[in-house]
Amino acid sequence: MISIKMQEQVQSSSVIRAMFEEGKRLAEIHGVENVFDFSIGNPNVEPPEEINEAILEILKTENLMSIHGYMNNSGYEEVRAAIAESINDKFGTAFTQNNILMTVGAAGGLNVIFKTLLNPKDEVITFAPFFGEYKNYVKNYEGELVVISPNTIDFQPNLEEFKEKITPKTKAVIINSPNNPTGVIYSEETIIKLSEILREKQKEFGTDIYLVSDEPYRELAYDNVEVPYLSNYYANTIIGYSFSKSLSLPGERIGYLVIPDQAADYKNIISAANIANRILGFVNAPSLFQRVVAKCLNAKVDIDTYNRNRELLYNGLSSYGYQCIKPEGAFYLFVKTPIENDVEFCNLAKKKNILIVTGTAFGCPGYVRIAYCVAYKTIEKALPGFKALIEEVK
Ligand code: PLP
């Protein structure tokens, strides 16, 4: 009795989530310490201390009715103002509270913006490999996701193919840097070229093409690599930010959209997005956590922990003969499978109690994603299994 659309979405439902459930099943059989679950991007580094301190302070000092009450669908004015100021300090922008809309994580924000922008059959372009949920987020509003094939040399976007695939129906382009699943950060050179292409195509077709920047991993960048702030390069940028990874709060569902004044039709977009937030059923972003993050805008998780994991896993796997790009950000390693079939490779890994996700789930077969937001010890204990795996298949 479920809708045809949901039947399709159930069928293609998240492979990552399925692996995560499989991990729990295997842990019950073999013991949690003998299962190496690299399937899901659930942060393993604790939130910074400031989070608990902020919660306690808010609960002790503020009016309970207002802590838990409804507010403007876009979020508390003072929270949005604090976020705007913090972005301005970091990136030299000039946002105000009117440019910020508090959302239910990045996922909520992306749904709000696609509901706001898309007419049926409008096209949204993305670059493989990409976060598989984009398919659902676009389909939710009857849009079409157009996937640009991967550039497996360095996993920067394939801009030649991009140029060819932009059409008068292209309403938006969604990018994600630092990237899930590759960990690659799109360089400033890439962003400049991508922006130029978009400006040319807007002119050619007389349309507006919005660049949606999905940024849950912005703060997880290693070796001081800069992550360009996209609204400084392209006027029609909309930024989707989340505190899920930056402050290790994925279950609290808190993030925001930035809709700059210079984006075409800004006023209508922000008022429509405000309504979309409400009528999608979010109503508003969680009240307490809006207040909490506003007090913690300079707090950081300990990214050295992820960095140590990155080094251990990358160096270990490389020494066994696996091929992958050293990630500059996020907490994923995207590894070429030593056999062609990535699904088969994941099944072989599962026999060694190693849970990883197929590249196919990200539109890039022949690779697997290993989420290294796990204990250091888990990687140490899993490495012999990875070594045995490559020896077995070679
Ligand atoms: N976008 C990307 C690229 C992600 O990896 C994730 C979560 O893993 C999301 C969006 C959703 O993030 P949130 O939990 O903030 O909704």
Q: What domains are defined for the chain?
A: 4-48+301-393 (3.90.1150.10), 49-294 (3.40.640.10)
Q: What is the pLDDT of residue 10?
A: 86
Q: How far is the CA of 162 from the centre of ligand 1 (A)?
A: 23
Ligand 1 contacts CB of residue 363 (under 6 A): no
| Closest to 258 measured CA to CA, from 214, 219, 196 | 214
Specify the pLDDT at position 14. 64
Mean pLDDT of 276-286: 98
Q: What is the pLDDT of residues 211-232, one digit of tens each?
A: 999 999 999 999 999 999 999 9
Return the pLDDT at 305.
98
How confident is the model at residue 323, as a pLDDT? 98
pLDDT band (50, 70, 90) for residue 187: very high
Q: How far is ligand 1, taken at its centre, from the CA of residue 322, in Å?
A: 27
Ligand 1 mean position to 37 CA, how many Å?
19
ipTM score here?
Answer: 0.99
Mean pLDDT of 333-338: 98
Task: Give pLDDT, residue 12.
Answer: 77
306 vs 185: CA distance, rounded Å: 16
- Mean pLDDT to the nearest integer, 140-156: 98
For a substitution probing ligand 1, which of 20, 180, 252 has the most ligand atoms within 8 Å of its CB?
A: 180
Measure 204 CA to ligand 1 centroid, in angstroms.
Answer: 33
Nearest C-alpha neighbor of 45 from the set 225, 250, 333: 250
E strand or H helix that includes residue 17: helix 15-30
String of DSSP letters for 106-147: HHHHHHHHHHHHPPTT-EEEEESS--THHHHHHHTTT-EEEE
Atom of ligand 1 nearest to the CA of 107: 16
Q: What percent of the chain has pLDDT over 70?
A: 99
Q: Which atom of ligand 1 is nearest to the CA of 244?
A: 15
Would you state the pLDDT for residue 52?
98
Q: Give the distance (Å) from ligand 1 centre to CA of residue 105.
A: 7
Q: Which atom of ligand 1 is nearest to the CA of 214?
A: 1
Mean pLDDT of 145-149: 98
pLDDT, tens digit, 9 for 90 and up, residues 13-47 = 766 667 778 888 888 898 888 999 999 999 999 99
Verify whether ligand 1 is closer than 6 Å to residue 255 (CB atom).
yes
pLDDT in tens, 49-63: 999 999 999 999 999
Cβ 209 vs Cβ 170: under 8 Å: yes
Going by pLDDT thresholds of 50, 70 and 90, the confidence category of residue 295 is very high
Predicted TM-score (pTM) of this structure: 0.96
Spell out the long-range contacts of 143-148 with Cβ–Cβ below 8 A and sequence spacing 24 or more: 143/114, 143/118, 143/119, 143/171, 144/169, 146/170, 147/363
pLDDT digits (tens, 9 = 90+) for 160-184: 999 999 999 999 999 999 999 999 9
In this prediction, residues 273-279 reach a mean pLDDT of: 98
What average pLDDT does the chain have? 96
Ligand 1 center to residue 335 CA distance, Å? 21
At 240 the pLDDT is: 98
Of the pLDDT bands very low, low, confident and very high (cuts 50, 70, 90), residue 339 is very high
Cβ 183 under 6 angstroms from ligand 1: no
What percent of the chain is predicted at pLDDT more than 90?
A: 92
DSSP run (H or E) holding 275 = helix 266-279
Q: Is 357 in the pocket of ligand 1 (CB under 6 A)?
A: no
Which of the residue ranges 11-20, 185-194, 303-312 would you say has the lowest mean pLDDT?
11-20
Select the more confidently predicted residue: 26 or 140.
Answer: 140
Q: Would you state the pLDDT for residue 175?
A: 98
